Amino acid sequence: MKRIGVLISGGGTNLQALIDKQGSVIRSGKIVCVCSNRSDAYGLERAKKAGIPTRVIRKNADCGGDDAAFNRAICEYMKSMNVDVIVLAGFLAILGGDLLTEYADRIVNIHPSLIPAFCGDGFYGLKVHEAALSYGVKVTGATAHLVNEITDGGKILLQKAVNIENGDTPETLQKRVMEEAEWIILPEAVELICKGENYENN
C-alpha cells in the first residue's frame, strides 16, 4: 500500500474526491498527510474531518520567500511522513529543487484543460476556463499528468473531455469540468501511479 501525500492551496474539492474514492478507485494507496501553503485553506478542514494529519508550510512566512527552502521544507515533511506518491490537488505554487528530484515520476497534478491547450505559466483556476471561452473552443476537459520542471509539461496519464455549452461562464465551466472530469480522472491517475502500472498507452 503506497503512502500518499496531498498538496492543496484552497477549498480542497479535488482532495475530497480523493478521500471519497479511497478503497474503491484508489485501492493501492492511502492518504497519510495533507500539506497546504495557506493556513486558511478549507481543504485542511476536509482533511481533519477525515482524520488525516495536516501541515501548513508557507513560502514567505515560513521559508523567507525562498523557493529552494520552500521546496526543501515540503520535501522534508513528505519524507518524514514516509510518503511514496505526492498529489497536487489545487496546489497553486510551482514546485522545483529537492522535491522534484526526490519524487521524480511520483508527483501527480490535475489541470483543468486538455493539455497542451490552455496550460503552462499563468494558466490556473478560472484563468484556464476564461481562456477556453475566449478562444471559442467547443470541447475542453481535464488532464492528469506527472509533474516535472516544466509547468504542466510532464507525461500525460489520463485525459477526459467536457463539452462547452451555450451560455457557459468561467464559473459554470469550472464546476462542470471538476464534476465531469477532474474528480473522476485524478483518483484514477493516482491509482495508476500507486500500482506502478504501465501507463504509457493510457
Q: Would you list the DSSP string of 41-71? A: -THHHHHHHTT--EEE--HHHHHTT-HHHHH
User: What's the grid cell of residue 139?
Assistant: 470541447
**In contact, 142 and 181? CB cutoff 8 Å:** yes
d(CA 163, CA 51): 36
Distance CA 161, CA 145 (A): 15
Task: Identify each DSSP E strand in 105-196 by its residue range.
Answer: 107-111, 139-146, 156-163
Would residue 111 show up in a list of annotated catalytic residues for this protein? yes
Catalytic annotation, pick one of 111, 118, 146, 177: 111
Sheet holding 2-8, edge to edge: 54-56, 29-36, 2-8, 85-88, 107-111, 139-146, 156-163
Grid cell listed for 114: 486538455
Q: Taking the mean position of all CA atoms in its chain, how far away is CA 11?
A: 12
Residues with catalytic function: 111
